[in-house]
Amino acid sequence: MSKAYLILADGTIFEGTSIGAEGKTIGETVFTTGMTGYIETLTDPSYFGQIVTQTFPLIGNYGVESGDFESKKSWVRGYIVRELCDKPSNFRCEGDLDSFLREQNIVGITGIDTRKLTKILREAGVMNGMILSGDESEKLKTENGKLVAENSLLEEIRAYKIEKAVESVQSLCNENDGDFKGQRPLGEGVAENANGGCSEGETSPKIADSSSLTPKFSVVLFDFGAKANIERELEKRGCKVTVVPFDTTAQKVIELNPDGIMLSNGPGDPAENVNIIEEIRKLCESRIPIFGICLGHQMLALARGAKTSKLKYGHRGGNHPVKDLESGRVFITSQNHGYAVESETLPDYAKLSFVNANDNTCEGVTYTDIPAFSVQFHPEACGGPHDTNFLFDKFIEMMR
């Protein structure tokens, strides 16, 4: 395996070993604290434009299982791990992670101090980075026995910006036929083991033979970069799910006469999606029950008059505590976001429902003037935790 280098926008260089595809990639360097679920991370469209660092030191030990995919391709710009397991062991394993990264043309690096990298990102904040390997690594030079990056490389790194993320994810899905979501018969892909180990610990009953079930509710799922498990969770609860693209108008959604509307997760700056936010505002006037997750939560808040801002290093991983302000109970959640709703900007008809137990940022909102609520975290979490899975049941009750 050849050498690879990670260069941060501040000039810091890490030397490691190449994994996945060889070449050059630039992205926003972030870290996720998840101990498992690396396949879900790699295939989550919300990571579009980002170089993802796994803080857990050993990644790839259970291999790659297609049943765990959240979409049919990987969206990360690059991948960083401390140690990559090249001999996975799991009865569901279909291949190793390095081969998957090569197939997906993802440039990666292993063998670097991910603890040091994470500390840099925590203290300085999320910053752009570049991974170089193969012939591209020749662009580095040595001065006084130390590797340095030429100014042209640093300028290229610093100039990178994630723009039109939702639109880009959708267009790439269509271009590569990588999006396997869409209207499906009830329960397809929800049978036992269809979503890997994600059913473990769930409070809702499993559907054994979904083909014989009659849908009880009709839900329109706005796809801003939706994770597949959102659709699965709705189908498990007897919903016929119609997935519509990000640029669908409110009028077209209303004409479908749904019982409820789901606003999905997705990548990028929520405030950038001006047209989508305006259509969400119109949907709010329809009084159709609405449930928003992650980016959907942020854009719903923007549509109702609140503001969002970028966090220093975001929340990413499967171990983030949030507090339910009504019950006082703390739930462990899965999260993946770099922006947050500013609690102090919520209007009078918006009630803060959850807060992050670490930094007190907004994690959930319930609207008192319309049948709508949203959460910043992922209640459909796959692979876990499943503490807040009950929020889908709350959405079902709103549609009755």
Catalytically annotated residues: 294, 378, 380
Q: DSSP label at 57?
A: S
State both tokens at 212.
């014989």
Contact between residue 260 and residue 289 where contact means Cβ atoms under 8 Å apart: yes
In sequence order, which residues have a C-beta less than 8 Å from that of residue 201 and are 6 or more positions away? Answer: 384, 385, 386
Contact between residue 139 and residue 132 where contact means Cβ atoms under 8 Å apart: yes
Question: Dihedral through CA 147, CA 153, CA 155, CA 157, nearest 10?
Answer: -100
- Bridge partners of 373, per DSSP, are 291, 366
State both tokens at 374.
């949203």
Reported in sequence order, the residue ranges of the chain that DSSP labels E, i.e. its strands, are: 3-8, 13-20, 24-32, 50-54, 58-59, 78-81, 83-84, 107-110, 127-133, 140-143, 146-149, 217-223, 239-245, 260-263, 290-293, 308-324, 330-341, 350-356, 362-367, 372-375
Distance (Å, whole) CA 265 – CA 194? 21
**Integer-rounded Cα radius of gyration of the chain:** 21
DSSP string of 315-344, one letter each residue: EEEEEEEEEETTT--EEEEEEEEEEEE-GG
